[in-house]
Structure 1
């Protein structure tokens, strides 16, 4: 657990957690904690027991905002896209008048990215801290969306050029993750919409237009992933169509080969019969003549098929 006094974007480490109970003359306290630290934090800051229970739960928490006496409990999801898989990590936030507590189970990159922004903007209020943190989290969804779009385009190109059975597993897996992510985006968008309201006493009214901008971005993200879901459906149809076309190509080649060998088989069948006299049977070099004729016949048929674009 790390306790910092944040004033004008400048961080000052604090050793005694109890000193964070007293509002500072300037700035606010940022407590960056793990879930194990809640045992200490709950009695000191009177954190609601249900909120603490949600933080400790092993089950995946939906994004939400809860209004408790003296503080708000907010859950938003950070996103990562590693090794072609989407990961969501819960970011639990307790917002008070002079403090903000962030509780995570894993490391959240957005918290590290936030520090230079706080210093550059000279932040001295916890609600502005919340705004910039939410803004970074939402912006990362755009970055992940760009990577997913690039993956869809690459997959589409691979399917059109070299269709493989493994492509179907990739399509199904990526589509499932997009559908799962879309379910999370809806409640997260609602959380940001709630932060956009003016009736939250712990959030400055001047932040209204800023949270409104984040809300618009969240709506765009939800619409974008809706489009990705449709694209995955089209990609699956393209895969099935490509397989069908490939099968047709193979059957066309086999049919052409069968057609070419039909007259050759006919000729070998005739000259393989047990008759005493067959025209050309006893001719000197007759076998070479027959083989040459068969070769010319096969090449001629292949030329005709090529010219008619049957092969």
Structure 2
């Protein structure tokens, strides 16, 4: 699980617009993937030099530049200066603790989203930042593109007969957001399988390990809700056609994404309630198990109370106690004790306490 705050204190005392990477440090070199296309023309390139992207600032083709890695501050300084991106926006791109949002400027819009996927059975929430300009989209992500959710979109772009090859920035913006939202359903399916597995386990097994897993799942649901809920505001802004860069004819596609987003949010809230129910079930099961143990110990102790009394009485060291010289006293005492124990067991069974 990612933390809710990841090194934000490092910005303390710095002036606004200072470029500081806040997030997980991987030590990997920043990779840049470029797709430049128009109708039947496609140029695809991988590079490590930001200078290779400069020529795509003013072009008639549609260009998607995907930057993987946020740790090279010098690279981001050059990128921001060349493409005219405000220093505060560049600061937000490097801060992976951002809330999903959309901001509109004169020549571009800035969008922050959360890409969610499972890696080695662990939930990963990765920040995706997008700069959408005229005929150009630059996306920024924390990890390598090998782990993102855009591979199907790249395949569609590589297809010369695909619709996306004939569209502009609005449709590519929609396609990127739609890829992220569609993958939410994949994550939700896996979470649902986990919840169902925990429900079955709680019926037969109550352990601290199971409690920890359910509690971690609850934290994941909270973090997932935090990452997805603001998406409604972003897509609602795009579907209303209030953003100049986005073509009006694309608004109907954003309405479809909005419906999917609402469905995802409703499902997350349902799962949150189910996980809360799992915790209640665990506590109830643990309480019932403890009650069974205490009931057994109480019955066991209750049976031995009169036996301990009898043994205590005849264990006193007086010289002139009755029955001490009686020949069958020992056997009679055992018969009395066994009779008392048997009677109490029969009584407990009749009351269904056993």
Which TM-score band applies after superposition, normalised by the shorter structure?
Answer: 0.7 to 0.9
Superposed, which structure 2 residues align to 1:202-221 within 5 Å? 202-221=245-264
1:100 to 124, 130, 137: 137
TM-score of the superposed pair, with normalisation by structure 1: 0.83
Change (3 A) 1:84 1:19: closer
For 1:38, the equivalent position in structure 2 comes to: 76
Change (3 A) 1:10 1:165: farther
> 1:259-309: CA deviations, max 9, x gaps?
2223433443454345564289413xx646654664565355435433542
1:195 to 218, 221, 238: 238
Change (3 A) 1:9 1:55: farther
2:288 to 219, 223, 245: 245
For 1:3, the equivalent position in structure 2 comes to: 34
* Alpha-carbon distance, 1:171 to partner: 4.1
SS at match of 1:73: strand
Are residue 68 (structure 1) and residue 105 (structure 2) matched? yes
For 1:262, the equivalent position in structure 2 comes to: 305
For 1:123, the equivalent position in structure 2 comes to: 164
1:135 to 178, 187, 197: 178
| Corresponding pairs, count | 306
Counterparts of 1:135 and 1:148 in 2: how far apart (Å)?
Answer: 20
Change (3 A) 1:7 1:296: farther
> 1:190-244: CA deviations, max 9, x gaps?
1111121223232232221211011111112222222233233333332332232
* Alpha-carbon distance, 1:138 to partner: 0.8
* Alpha-carbon distance, 1:12 to partner: 1.7
1:20 to 45, 51, 56: 56
Q: CA RMSD in A?
A: 3.0
Unaligned runs of 5+ in 1: none
Are residue 282 (structure 1) and residue 282 (structure 2) matched? no
Question: Which is helix-richer, 1 or 2?
Answer: 1
Counterparts of 2:170 and 2:335 in 1: how far apart (Å)?
Answer: 90
Counterparts of 2:94 and 2:38 in 1: how far apart (Å)?
Answer: 30
Counterparts of 1:12 and 1:289 in 2: how far apart (Å)?
Answer: 103
Change (3 A) 1:114 1:187: same
Counterparts of 2:82 and 2:34 in 1: how far apart (Å)?
Answer: 14
Are residue 29 (structure 1) and residue 63 (structure 2) matched? yes
Counterparts of 2:270 and 2:326 in 1: how far apart (Å)?
Answer: 72
For 2:202, the equivalent position in structure 1 comes to: 159
TM-score of the superposed pair, with normalisation by structure 2: 0.74
Q: Is the 8 A contact 1:10 1:119 kept in 2?
A: no
Counterparts of 2:278 and 2:151 in 1: how far apart (Å)?
Answer: 37
Are residue 111 (structure 1) and residue 154 (structure 2) matched? no
Change (3 A) 1:292 1:85: farther
